[in-house]
Structure 1
């Protein structure tokens, strides 16, 4: 099977996806509307709905600056990734590009770390969804709900990439409509323009009337960054999915160009509404959740139940995308010989069946750990994957530094998306991400995540280097081959 990341054969560009429908690779089953909604919904995780209250309580209104800084970092990273993905669409995305630009060890390492991250996310989201469903139907135990949710979404992913896209289109659509409505209705209530609202319409007063804009001091902005940074993970999914669309270059360009307004509306917009509807230190923000508390302040009936539906949708969306993402990364690793070759085989529907099932099996194992040893084994899994998002963003930055020159030399006409102020903004982003990682070491919870994630990363990198050394030794012993793989 031809690899997407091997040197190009005559007539085939390096990194170019297989011909759709050829029967020996992934199929172009994602429509433009699927990719548009995946791009929009990719930045909206359940963490935005569930975890934002803790960030507000820690930093007050200054949490807006925390969201803005992390959002800016994500915009830069997505711009870099978009530059590479538009030029060389690949199901392995940044892992495949790291393979080409930094070396085989880099693609292997970041690919497996990313797969590990999403497998753990599967367990987290399955448990979160099961908790909500058990509250609605107590007769079915939580473990059974987790099983049902995982089985249904696995079946969906196994049918075809189009069925994944269709499910994600509606899941993401519900999230987008819900947040859009929340922002619109909330702003009307803030300025006293919402008919029948219980809210006094206090305008922007709540941003400063409880201890000022920095009630916990400017340093709380950094604490807020640590609390919100991981809710942005998932923005890069569209670059993996683009490889299974008819026009990946257009899809990536569109998604990259729209990431600024998506973050501005969905993150900054919705948190701004919460902070202007309620004082930041209102106990209901942490007790009920920031969005439920905001809806209650307006007088929306059954706000808790409404948010349960929206959060469940976000959880199912994250599960659906997590399974898709993990399986496509495993597929790409299999194609490059960095995972079992079976991972690179596709069924008649054009989906990597073995890669999907293998990812689900590890997800089920992690779910079992969550039920059996939630405070020991599963907590270790959580912490050891906690900083992987930042590692991925760092690798994207370093890869883009080298890939820009490679694209200009080999395919200059493909450079349709360009990183701004290259290379200065790329280095600035590297500095920002590195600062966050270093600052995490000063935080008690963050320190454990960084150290355990670094330990796991070191083990994976060591494995990659040993594999490379053994391969070089084997090639040297075998003598020159008619056509070597790399």
Structure 2
């Protein structure tokens, strides 16, 4: 198969166990938690905790389906190879190019965000200068060695984790000591004393799509399988820890935030982390959180360069300029092409308003719902194939195929929420138009 031809040039297994585990950890923590949690809390109230748990469970099942596929052939450069194998080359073509262009647009948006966050400290320096500096630095890291990428992501993830743990520890101390704030006494009872569902529950469904977007990128660990030193051990360990990560980092942080002061006191337009740290007397709170979200954006940009390079290499079928590895077994040419496209963000920012990126990334986010659904469907087809019946069985998805069907139903529900919510309907329709175009183009591909 085409994917197998591409993988004849083996990628280097330079990612250690700690790299893969931290990449998986960082993949579930983004700016959605640090900046978007205020909006989520104001939309759903304390019920947002249940929304995170439910969404996290389905994301865990999706990752278990992906993990089982990955371990059937850890040498595949990307998980799109499994879509191609079990759903056909046409499906692989559509999902592969959608995933690639989706990460390109996300990277362009993150590059724009990096420049904006740096302006917080250096308002006199043009944003585009910071964009070029960060892109060149992260490009250099990605083409040096895969271990350099892994080490960078390790520390990016560590910074985000430290910020969340600091929030949780501060919350625990304040709850135990009944610390007083301008909003009253810190207590777990703040979770229910002012109601548990905001807006009488009629916006609760909208919270699901907001939380789903916070989890985008969770599948990124699947891109590391072909370059992990011991994928048969590290991939299952990383995926199995997803539930614990969700409970600690998302649910734990939100419990702390809503215990320190009533959830009704948080502004939807400001990071609750800034509000909490400022409220307990840390005057540099805004600067600290700005540094953390800068790290999160840089981490996403770093991951985008890694992902788009590997995906373009895989899509090349081992042919042409982008179908070659350099002497360090890195798809440098594919990374070059992706980096040039991402760099167009610098020019776009000059000539077009920033909300153009919001539109494009919203389309990409809607497309990820379909990508995740196709991954689960590929797992279903694998379970029905001779590969499963006659092959070695590793890391079996719990409850399959019923958990597959439940996950597909959940993802369909998210897509329907996007389609029938006024604010997301236009971008969801654009995502549908994209898929129609890609399906038409895929007719040229022979299965």
Alpha-carbon shift at residue 134 of structure 1 (Å): 1.8
5+ residue gaps, structure 1? 7-14, 19-23, 469-485
Paired residues of 1:347 and 1:353 also in contact (CA < 8 A) = yes
Equivalent of 1:368 in 347, 363, 388: 347
CA drift at 1:459: 0.8
The match for 1:219 is 202
* 1:387-398 matches, cutoff 5 A: 387-398=366-377
How far apart, in 1, do the equivalents of 2:61 and 2:213 lie?
A: 16
Aligned match of 1:384: 363
CA shift for structure 1 position 3 = 5.3
SS of alignment partner, residue 441 of structure 1: helix
Aligned to 2:230: 247
Are 1:421 and 2:386 counterparts? no
Larger radius of gyration: 1
Inter-partner Cα distance in structure 2 for 1:227 and 1:215: 15
Matched with 1:237 is 220
Shift of 1:171: 0.7
Distance 1:203 1:52, change over 3 A: same
Q: CA deviation at 1:249?
A: 1.5
Give me the TM-score of the superposition, normalised by structure 2: 0.94
For the residues of structure 2 that align with 1:197 and 1:152, how far apart are their CA atoms? 42
Q: Among residues 325, 335, 340, which one is paired with 1:346 in the alignment? A: 325
Is the aligned partner of 1:159 residue 2:147?
A: no
CA contact (8 A) 2:172 2:256 kept: yes
Cα distance in 1 for partners of 2:116, 2:314 equals 33
TM-superposed CA distance for 1:87, in Å, is 1.9
Matched, 1:313 2:295: yes
Which runs of no fewer than 5 residues in structure 2 stay unpaired? none
Provide the residue aligned with 1:409 in structure 2: 389
Residues 1:431 and 2:413 are matched in the alignment: no
Tell me the distance in 1 between the aligned counterparts of 2:277 and 2:183: 10
| Pair 1:263 & 2:279 matched | no
Matches within 5 A, 1:8-407: 24-192=9-177, 201-210=185-194, 212-283=195-266, 285-335=267-317, 341-374=320-353, 377-406=356-385, 407=387
Q: Which residue does the alignment assign to 1:477?
A: none
Q: In 2, Cα distance between the equivalents of 1:442 and 1:460?
A: 23
State the distance in 2 between where 1:383 and 1:368 align.
20
* Relative contact order higher in (CA < 8 Å, ≥ 6 apart): 2
Deviations 1:222-266 (A, max 9, x none): 111122211101111112112112211111111111111011111
C-alpha separation in 2, matches of 1:90 and 1:437: 32
C-alpha deviation, 1:346, in angstroms: 0.9
CA distance in structure 2 between the partners assigned to 1:310 and 1:464 by the alignment: 41
Q: Is the 8 A contact 1:118 1:325 kept in 2?
A: yes
Q: 1:61 to 1:166 in 2, by over 3 A?
A: same
In 2 relative to 1, CA 232–379 (structure 1 residues): closer, same or farther, beyond 3 Å?
closer
Contact 1:4-1:90 within 8 A present in 2 as well? no
- The SS at the match of 1:467 is coil
